[in-house]
Structure 1
């Protein structure tokens, strides 16, 4: 244990530069700290322990951090917007975006109607599944894929990885009820508990649509048998990260010949696509398995699986009985939550997703000042210049590859705040006379058809893949773009009233993170035009793998729960981006400072504030159950590891907090992994 006074002496290292001349800007919120922890032993707990104590997990959350706090703020803002929208005369005019948003939200809030209707809204779908004959299977499957649920395999239109200006059809694996294949294939006390709860869930879902106990048992036996077989042949988490494995372009004739137990011509015709000539098979091994497996299934097995899929995927827009069963399984058992979200949050999810840009227009007009966008544009330019400097100084990348990397960096498309062109929802019809489920289904069908209509058309590189109110950011390799929606441009990530060191340590690292994704284990395989192309020499790849393998081992060594270790290979891309973002953002900040320094703020030097701001981005509490689920399903490392493991590689951080050999946060130089 170390006293607060000693912490102050450590943090007032007079070898570090003082703050930029910005006396009107605030510094670190000291209430976020836990000064009883030595930053040299556990920087995450030192930087975030106060925040964690002040924000204990409440019953509706399996994890709650600064990221979630910001999302909750955005949800509250959306609630205000949507409830006020109901006073707008336009909300009473059928066909306006205001009417659609308001009516969808009101239907989600109408508990009495939902509970009175019970299972009746989903029963026409169930009846259609129960009544089809064997030769109608592919037509029913196509109907389900057209906005209801994805079963057996999935289809969707997106950019051709080797010709990213063109949209093609992609055929992919099916999802699993439990999310990850390991829950089905690995035996453990935790997995056995989850499977036992899943059995109750499956039986309860079909009980709610009238199945007796014998039928419930039969459905469970068929569902678990089918999903377990799917799990055996799905790609591993690590394989899914390899874009080369996921690209296998087949002509339609070859698809029909090689996977002949699926009537592809009828399938594509039924989903509304004529004259298809080719498709990318994302997982050839899985589709080969499925082609052999389908003929072995009885009609009853197929129907039971499809019935369960349909009712489970519909549970969120049906009565409380369906929602309660779903929460018991996925909220309590898998994530450790104690109670569900309040009704208004669940109701807000539907218009916020299905009419996302309509809601987004309202959001940015009230909550996103133009000054924020201007500041961000300057910040992004600084980060771009900084990453260029890092690329030029690399010792492991050849000169030819450096030049290509710099060329790719210079062509990044930058999207900030909100799109220039808003999505048109005029063809989505929301009618309160129909059930909540039917309205959601019809909107989902519209989205599915909207996607299919893009086939063979040029990729719209102005389209956004997140709504403006989303608290997140992304890099898209096929368009070589970075996107920062308005929702994430709020404290603690971004604050125009904060000291610049804090903004560079927060949103600056996020910007650098997304930029670095263009050069991580996946992004580096796409060129400046977004095409899947190897533009590195064999020696470059060998050196990259040598350094990145060290990063993999660092995370693999972390025990996140008794007997459960982090997966450094699965999280490699995000870990590279975290580390790259930190290094690039620091250089950008020091370049921006340009030697102009002032006294420290709140006893912390600029570099210390920079790293504390980064750590505060990942402050949060998490339940043990959620740790297991995220370790298996989330390509991002847990917050504590994103701080402690990543920072241990960065010499400027170690110097900023006087971390030396013998300290727990110290990592010997020979063991560090610095890539970008």
Structure 2
């Protein structure tokens, strides 16, 4: 014990000598020995220092966050194209509406009516073509391009069309043998007249005939025979009263046509009445599509010989040979027919009329031809046609058609007859290679997001998943325009078979024959690539099942849906969702009954039923109606397309910095994404076609957004609001 005490004293002495200072217990005891005032001052000083330190930390962190936000957060896009887009958004949408309750109105409602983005874009594309067609010195003399400009100018020369009056159409009637209503009439052979109407005027009074890809061999053409396109909107479901009113209006129109052509009013009345009777009887021969579906036979393959036996009034071989020259047809030529019963009954009616009312049959064909050619005639014929259209739309409770200015009608006509020329001009002016490259990059990111989702779908079996991934990787994409449209010589293509003048009507008829012949030649040539269904300036994407190709025309990839300088949120939310929607068309068969036998059918049925009920529960605008089962496939593509595009956009935000947003909108990039999606769907609610497989526009917005949890999160929607429901359905 003594040794320990001594060693302890030695250690304490060393400690004091080396300056290590007192131990904690000694220090505490020293503080306790200080006066109380010193202790209080010391504690106060310590608190002040701590407060200053905390304030400094808060101030520093705030400045750091401001720096990060200003330098790393979304910047305002101030480029001219962004400012134009901002102006577009400011004139479209009602921001006073709560977005969580009615995002369609928030994005689409204007002071007067509702914005229609697709129609506005289509009109802007036509306006661009107008500027190109009217630009001085923009065409090359001596080439086919010159004919396109000459045709457009002759269409715009309304003074010359008015001066020609009824002379040009009377010449056509005389070429067809005349008629009993006015002038001399030569009783020509019925099939000769029908042959002329079909081959020289592109008019089919009793049936339609056109080339289609073979249903089994898609690159082999086949002639398809269908019912005619009736000039009046008769339908089986029309009530007797409405049906009678439609017939009266059309009878009045035919009387007006006959009178304009110089016919005796009493004779005109008689011939017009029988023409209406012929149309009504032909209409009664039709069978609705559902009738063919119940028989599990949408079309029949027959030879020309077989059809000749079934419908002998028509000389099928001579009429079809004249129409489809240079095809070489024989009696054994296969045809695709949708409604054999209609053709049998039509033939019997023609035979009856040839025996008793041959002159009335001639008048029926000529009145129908004049009606179809009225856009190429003077204003009296055009006005008669316009008034008939308006009255028939009123009777069938369809919205009135907007009046189109002359330049727009002339652009449409020129585009129809000279598509190769206008396609090359449009692509060169509106969709350069850099824009095409940016669009392809966007499509690749959308496709990658789809592939990632396919790998995680719970209702797809491994076998089906492999098949689905294979279909995506083998898919072809055509962006902007067909390959030939990028070649400068296409704008100068020769149209040697087109003879313009002396009247505008004769120019139109020459163009009709040229276009028909070009279509036939295109079907006869080996064509390894996909044939576009729409011209490049159209705002309409589609997926072709036979060619397994998805098409995005240049006319769709324009502001306000796409521009390389836009914030990514806009391009992904608008064009990106459209791309994802079309990609999902590849898998429509999986969603049909029995279309995916290896899938978890119970899980698939459950989510499809959920989706159907979800849309059926959404509030509809007044006077709108739809069948949620009829629109189910398109609803699934809307919901899935939005989810895929948002996933691709979220990945873009993680990989790339420098995202921008629109100024003075107060929208985050994610909010701008959803705003851009809704902008695509903006359309007047009253324009919905009952046969449209898409839901009404407000439901296309609310249905997809309410099934997207990210929307409710980024717009801070309270639980239970329309766009933040308790139950969601996620198929893709």
* TM-score above 0.5: yes
Q: Which moved more, 1:113-122 or 1:429-438?
A: 429-438
The CA distance in 2 between the partners of 1:410 and 1:524, in whole Å, is 20
Q: Deviations over 1:299-320 (max 9, x none)?
A: 3553343223211111111101
Quick check: 1:23 aligned with 2:91? no
The CA distance in 1 between the partners of 2:537 and 2:217, in whole Å, is 31
Larger radius of gyration: 2
Q: Is the 8 A contact 2:226 2:339 kept in 1?
A: yes
5+ long unaligned stretches in structure 1? 1-16, 58-62, 526-533
Q: Deviations over 1:62-111 (max 9, x none)?
A: x9611122222222221221111x535734x3xx2232111111111111
Match of 1:371 in 2: 434
RMSD: 3.9
Q: 1:479, CA displacement in angstroms?
A: 1.4
Q: Is the 8 A contact 2:478 2:549 kept in 1?
A: yes
The CA distance in 1 between the partners of 2:350 and 2:102, in whole Å, is 53
Q: Is the 8 A contact 2:642 2:704 kept in 1?
A: no
Q: 1:404, CA displacement in angstroms?
A: 2.4
Match of 2:570 in 1: 502
Q: Is the 8 A contact 2:464 2:598 kept in 1?
A: no
Q: Is the 8 A contact 1:413 1:481 kept in 2?
A: yes
Q: Deviations over 1:596-654 (max 9, x none)?
A: 678995433333222210111122446x5xx3xx4235444443232223433434434
The CA distance in 1 between the partners of 2:268 and 2:619, in whole Å, is 39
Q: Is the 8 A contact 2:247 2:276 kept in 1?
A: no
- Aligned match for 2:134, one of 71, 83, 91: 83
Give the structure, 1 or 2, with the largest relative contact order (CA under 8 Å, sep 6 or more): 1
Quick check: 1:144 aligned with 2:200? no
320 and 405 in structure 1: CA distance in 2 versus 1, 3 angstrom threshold: same
The CA distance in 1 between the partners of 2:571 and 2:204, in whole Å, is 42
Match of 2:366 in 1: 307
5+ long unaligned stretches in structure 2? 1-68, 180-184
Q: 1:504, CA displacement in angstroms?
A: 0.6
SS in 2 for 1:482: strand
562 and 73 in structure 1: CA distance in 2 versus 1, 3 angstrom threshold: closer
SS in 2 for 1:168: strand
611 and 356 in structure 1: CA distance in 2 versus 1, 3 angstrom threshold: same
| Mapping for residues 70-469 of structure 1, pairs under 5 Å | 70-84=121-135, 86-88=136-138, 90-91=140-141, 93=142, 96-127=143-174, 128=176, 130=178, 136-146=189-199, 147-179=201-233, 181-182=234-235, 185-187=237-239, 196-232=248-284, 234=286, 236=288, 246-271=298-323, 272=325, 273-276=327-330, 277-284=333-340, 286-297=342-353, 298-331=357-390, 334=393, 336-337=399-400, 340-422=403-485, 425-454=493-522, 457-469=525-537
Q: Deviations over 1:114-173 (max 9, x none)?
A: 112122222233341655989833333333223432322212222212222322222222
200 and 135 in structure 1: CA distance in 2 versus 1, 3 angstrom threshold: closer
TM-score when normalising by structure 2: 0.75
Q: 1:186, CA displacement in angstroms?
A: 1.2
The CA distance in 2 between the partners of 1:603 and 1:325, in whole Å, is 51
635 and 606 in structure 1: CA distance in 2 versus 1, 3 angstrom threshold: same
Q: 1:235, CA displacement in angstroms?
A: 6.0
Q: Is the 8 A contact 1:164 1:459 kept in 2?
A: no
SS in 1 for 2:538: coil
SS in 2 for 1:249: strand
Q: 1:378, CA displacement in angstroms?
A: 0.8
The CA distance in 2 between the partners of 1:159 and 1:227, in whole Å, is 30
SS in 2 for 1:475: strand
411 and 190 in structure 1: CA distance in 2 versus 1, 3 angstrom threshold: farther
Q: 1:196, CA displacement in angstroms?
A: 4.8
Quick check: 1:653 aligned with 2:708? no
How many residue pairs get aligned? The number is 629
Q: 1:426, CA displacement in angstroms?
A: 2.1
Q: Is the 8 A contact 1:237 1:570 kept in 2?
A: no
Quick check: 1:606 aligned with 2:669? yes
The CA distance in 1 between the partners of 2:281 and 2:706, in whole Å, is 42
Q: 1:507, CA displacement in angstroms?
A: 0.6
Q: Is the 8 A contact 2:653 2:659 kept in 1?
A: no
Match of 1:478 in 2: 546
Q: Which moved more, 1:420-429 or 1:409-418?
A: 420-429
Match of 1:7 in 2: none
TM-score when normalising by structure 1: 0.81
The CA distance in 2 between the partners of 1:446 and 1:553, in whole Å, is 51
80 and 512 in structure 1: CA distance in 2 versus 1, 3 angstrom threshold: same
